[in-house]
Amino acid sequence: MKKVLLLCMAVISFISTSSCSDDDNSNNGGGNNNTAGFTWRENDPNGAVNQAAAATFNTQFNTLIATAADGTTLFEINLSGSAAAAYTLSSSGANMFTYTGENPFFVAEGGTVTITSNSNNKITGTYEAFRTGNGLTRLYGTFTDVPVN
C-alpha cells in the first residue's frame, strides 16, 4: 500500500513540475554529474551514466523516488531522515534501497546514501548500494537538486 501511495505521489509531483521551466544550471559539485536529476551507474563507478526522467523526495516518508519517462518507478530509496548525513543501507530496517529495473528487483544488502544538501526545497547527494550474487551487484549514483515535497 505504501508503494502504491508513493508511486501516486511521485506521478502527481512529476505532472505538477513537468510543465515548469527551471533554468538553474548552476554547477554545485554534485559528483560527476552537475545537472539536476537522478543518475546511476551499474557495477562500475566509472561506467556509462544512466539518467531517470524525473525524481522527487517526499519528506513525509523520507523517500526518494526516481521514475522512467513512462512514470514507472525505477528507484525507491527509503531513509530514516532527510538531513545532510550518511545513511547506511540494509535489506530491512529504516534505510532501504530498491531498483526495479532488474528482475528480480535489486534490493540493496548494504551501502550508503549520503545527503550533502537539503535546502531551498531541493536535495542533493550520492549513493552506493550493493548486493551479493551474479549480474548487477553494485549501483553508484547521484541525485542533484531533486525537488523536495
- Give per-residue pLDDT as tens, 28-77: 333 333 457 999 999 999 999 999 999 999 999 999 999 999 999 999 99
| Dist. CA 43–CA 130, nearest whole Å | 9
The fraction of the chain above a pLDDT of 90, given in percent, is: 75
Q: How many domains does the chain have?
A: 1
| Dist. CA 146–CA 38, nearest whole Å | 7
Say if 22 falls within a structural domain. Answer: no
Sign of CA dihedral 2, 7, 33, 21: negative
Please check the confidence at residue 121 and state whether its pLDDT lies above 90. yes
Say if 118 falls within a structural domain. Answer: yes
Quick one: average pLDDT of 87-116?
96
pLDDT at 35: 58
| Dist. CA 24–CA 88, nearest whole Å | 31
H-type helices in the chain, by residue range?
2-18
Say if 23 falls within a structural domain. Answer: no
Say if 24 falls within a structural domain. Answer: no
| Dist. CA 5–CA 139, nearest whole Å | 25
Domain that includes residue 120, residue range: 2-17+30-147
Give tens-digit pLDDT for 88-100: 999 999 999 999 9
